[in-house]
Structure 1
Amino acid sequence: MFNRIRISTTLFLILILCGILQIGSNGMSFWAFRDDLQRLNQVEQSNQQRAALAQTRAVMLQASTALNKAGTLTALSYPADDIKTLMTTARASLTQSTTLFKSFMAMTAGNEHVRALQKETEKSFARWHNDLEHQAT
């Protein structure tokens, strides 16, 4: 009789142990899913930041190209209307680049390292933008 009680108690303890392991496993899976979701959100945010910065760079390159063409046409004594059109395009591109860069800077920075990188990017943008504005005057 005691043998049966020992066997049933042992089986019951094994069943409880399996239940505890199952609950622990589910909890760990939940934590892993939560961490993965946070990482996915970080990757998504960094992709949006990269896209905004790439758009800003493309518009700045358009402005630079327009200013270079205007300078070349001026040196070759082309009509003033062609040059004015290029200068208008360059100024519009500079305005658009400022708007795009503001949207990039409006995105939240994650940690201190990211904030430092954003500040360096802001300095670099300001330097390049000021050089192009000076060239456009």
Structure 2
Amino acid sequence: MPTLRWDGDALFGDLANTGQLIEPGQEIDVDEEDADHYLGHRSGDWERVDEPAEGDGDESGDESEETDDDADSEDIEPPFDPTEPTVSELKDKLEDGDYTDAELEALKEAEDRSTAVDAINAELEEE
């Protein structure tokens, strides 16, 4: 179960999902499918504080390699500013371009519009 932290400056009202008010700095555990909802919030003030679950849960030395890979993917800049084109233009760029998963993830992190994030997620799923 992912752990997320609210880094906003004010209370976050999550009345529709959990019925609670979340204070700045507070960490919450959410279902995997709900994590994207919070992380995609327009404020951009949610942060995942645990590593996403991958593989079969084997606790061998592979985890340090995954952490290194995750750090490298965070350093990748989006290939273009996703907030400039319209969502339709963004979809066209995604279809016409040949972007790596890391570049698509960087685009998703830079994007606030839910329909644009959905288009990026769809492109990630196609690969």
What TM-score results when the alignment is normalised by the length of structure 2? 0.25
Structure 1 or 2: larger strand share?
A: 2
What TM-score results when the alignment is normalised by the length of structure 1? 0.24
Structure 1 or 2: larger helix share?
A: 1
Indicate the structure (1 or 2) with the bigger Cα radius of gyration: 1
Larger RCO, structures 1/2 (Cα 8 Å, 6+ apart)? 1
